[in-house]
Amino acid sequence: MSFIGASFRRDIEIHRYPLLVYILVPLAALVAQAWLPRVFGQYAYFDLPLVVTIYFALGRRSPIQGTLMGAALGLFEDALSHLAIGLNGIAKSIAGYLAASVGVRIDVENHTIRVALTFLLSLVSGAIYLFVSRFLLGLEFQWNWLGEIFKAIGNSVIVLLLFPLLDRLQLRD
Amino acid sequence: MESFLVRYRNHLVLLTILAAQLIGLGVQVRHSRAGRNSLDPSDSAGVRLIRFWAESMVSPPERLIHGVKSGADNLWTGYLDLRHVRQQNLELEQTIGRLRLEQAALLEDARQGQRLQALLGFQQRYIYATVAAQVFGTSGSDQSRVFYIDKGSDSGLARDMAVVTADGIVGKVRDVFPHNAQVLAINDQTSGAGVLLETTRIRGILKGNVSGQLEVVGVLSDERIKPGEKVVTAGGDLVFPRGLPVGVVSKVASDSDNPAYIDVMVKSSANLDRLDEVLVITSMQPRFSAQEKQDMATSETLDGAQAAAIEQQIQAQQKAAQITAERLPGLTVPNLPPDQQPINDSSPPNPISPQPQSPVHPDEFSPIPGDKVVAGVSDDGAASPAPAAAGKTIAPPGTPPRAENAARNAHATVPPSGRPASTAQAPPAGQTAPGRNP
């Protein structure tokens, strides 16, 4: 049974990383997200900053850190686009908060849970983006839910490859 | 109070961050008079500063990656795979020389056309200066189809400059930094360009949809629009010059919101997903470099020399025709005035003989229908013009039946002179042909 009590899990599983990892991994995710669409073209169905946000939120199990990480990466993404700054920031802040909140309660070492959680949080992030832009701000633009599903699938596949690599970077006692 | 902050600190941090971002979003959105909200196309100073920071942090590693990839590509194409390069280089140099002269001639024509259009009051815009740039990154979001190029305000770039490739238009400069610039692609949802359907001359606005495909909106339903029709820029948006290729119509679909309108889907000429090198149109005013001016002068000189050579050639041909006409016998008769000379006679040399009527009671001496006679024989034994054009076997009037038969049998062996071989034994003039009298 993967679902274990929060207090027990929180005591034994808080991942710690060197400071450089907190800086370089999100920066690498931003750079890769900006550069890889030139390679994959229209098939670039992934959101690496969101994946990194979820990873650190799950590993640190701190909603505040998850929120801050999501906000920072989302604002960077917005700043690189031509759209309003804050759309991705809000979506990823909430995604980071939710990931950390869930990570307190469940075993996040299980790959199946990681994949399922990333898939769900990708869709939630898209839904928040749509809600804020269309309903709060009243902006008119088209939305492609099929593309969002493909993106959630792509993120889930990346989790299978990336999370084990990032796990190797954590500090061991 | 302290316990409240400690207990709900996670929620409070989240709410604070969300509220701050929402306020920031509210500042960036503008409410139009039509009741619609839209993003401010020109960023405020604070937003520009944030974009500049983000771009400054992300673009150096991006350019490094792009440089490594380009270096690897160049290592292969520039040093390892060099077969037939020398021969190609010679051919290209010859081609460049020819094209430079052609370009100079075209520039001359364009300048003349501009002068004429200025006289007529037209405002036509031409491309006179471009800056080549390399694409090194994107926004990374499918909601924002922008890309970054490695030239900025230091290279003379400014907002709203058109960005094209050799295949067609790709976007316009949206934001400029000192060494980089952000380009809004034409397939973004917020972009817009005035376009013209080349054959039907129907105008519309080119936009991108959520899938990154191009579509022309605002077009009334028209059955003449078919897939395969070329789409070019209309030149009315003050960004793209007129006549640049955009793409071809791929599909025509009815607008679900308004049945009177149609959506014309367009396949872009340029590969918008795999852009490497682009050209930014920095000037549409006529400015010629010293080299171009020299080429134009050379072209004008060559054109003058070529025209003189053609004139001399025509004169020489006229002289040769006069000499030939003077030397040919029979073409000029000294006694006739010049306007009645045979050389000026335009009547056909061999008029078609009138077709004789067929006999009422044909006998064995009557001409056989379908048999051909090339030349007839007259009473005096001279060959008459052949009525072959009539396609009938006809002897000249007054020809005796036997001579007529002889002529009929001799038509197959007509010498080039037109005189039948059998006429060699024909009696002289005034004599009766053998067998004439029974």
User: What tens digit of pLDDT does each residue of B130-168 get?
Assistant: 899 999 999 888 888 999 999 999 999 999 999 998 888
Burial tier of B349 (Cβ tally within 10 Å: 0-12, 13-18, 19+): exposed
Half-sphere exposure of B129 (CA within 13 A, CB side): 12
Considering only CB atoms, which chain A residues are within 8 Å of B57?
27, 30, 76
N-term to C-term CA, chain A:
26
pLDDT averaged over every residue in chain B = 75
Considering only CB atoms, which chain A residues are within 8 Å of B136?
35
| DSSP type of residue B77 | I
The answer for residues whose C-beta is within 8 angstroms of residue A153's C-beta and 6 or more apart is: A45, A119
Residue type for position A86:
G
Which residue in A81, A125, A145 has the most chain B C-beta atoms within 10 A of its own C-beta, making it the best mutation to test that interface? Answer: A81
Higher pLDDT, B287 or B90: B90
Please report, for chain A, the start and end positions of each structural domain, with discontinuous segments joined by +. 6-167
Nearest CA in chain B to A34: B140
Residue B261, φ and ψ in degrees, nearest 5: -110, 160
Considering only CB atoms, which chain A residues are within 8 Å of B189?
141-142
CB pairs under 8 A between A and B: 160
Burial per residue of A147-162, b for 16 or more beta-carbon CB atoms within 10 angstroms, e otherwise: bbeebbbbbbebbeeb
Q: Is B64 on the interface with A (CB under 8 A)?
A: no
Out of A68-82, A86-100, B58-72, which region has the weakest mean confidence (pLDDT)?
B58-72
Which pairing describes strands B214-220 and B181-185: parallel, antiparallel, or unpaired? unpaired
Task: For residue A166, give the nearest of A64, A7, A51 by alpha carbon.
Answer: A51
Which pLDDT band holds residue A16 (cuts at 50, 70, 90)? Answer: confident
| DSSP type of residue B44 | -
Which pLDDT band holds residue B361 (cuts at 50, 70, 90)? Answer: confident
Query: Which two tokens mark A60?
Result: 């640190």
Give the mean model confidence (pLDDT) for residues B30-43. Answer: 77
Can you spell out the DSSP letters for B49-74? HHHHHHHHHHHHHHHHHHHHHHHHHH
The crossing angle, in degrees rounded to 10, of helices A87-105 and A63-80 is: 150
Residue B70, φ and ψ in degrees, nearest 5: -65, -40
The pLDDT of residue B73 is 84
Burial tier of B164 (Cβ tally within 10 Å: 0-12, 13-18, 19+): buried
Q: Is A6 on the interface with B (CB under 8 A)?
A: no
Which pLDDT band holds residue B379 (cuts at 50, 70, 90)? Answer: very low
The answer for residues whose C-beta is within 8 angstroms of residue A55's C-beta and 6 or more apart is: A159, A162, A163, A166
Residue type for position B383:
A
Token pair 């078919």 is found at B226
Half-sphere exposure of B240 (CA within 13 A, CB side): 27
Whether residues B21 and A37 touch (CB distance < 8 A) is answered with no
Which pLDDT band holds residue B92 (cuts at 50, 70, 90)? Answer: very high
| DSSP type of residue B434 | T
Q: Say if CB B159 and CB B176 are below 8 A apart.
A: yes
Out of A147-161, B8-22, B275-289, which region has the weakest mean confidence (pLDDT)?
B275-289
Considering only CB atoms, which chain A residues are within 8 Å of B207?
none
Residue B128, φ and ψ in degrees, nearest 5: -120, -20
Pairwise CA distance, residues B173 & B194, whole Å: 16
Q: Is B50 on the interface with A (CB under 8 A)?
A: yes
Q: Is B61 on the interface with A (CB under 8 A)?
A: yes
Whether residues A141 and B14 touch (CB distance < 8 A) is answered with no
Q: What is the pLDDT of residues A104-117, one digit of tens each?
A: 888 778 889 999 99
Q: What is the distance in angstroms between the Cα of A62 and the nearest Cα belonging to chain B?
A: 8
Highest mean pLDDT among A148-162, B75-89, B269-283, B407-421: A148-162
Q: Say if CB A85 and CB B34 are below 8 A apart.
A: no
> Model ipTM?
0.89
Considering only CB atoms, which chain B residues are within 8 Å of A89?
21
Q: Which helix (H) or strand (E) holds A152?
A: helix A145-167
Phi-psi label, residue B385: left if phi above 0, alpha if psi -120 to 50, beta otherwise: beta
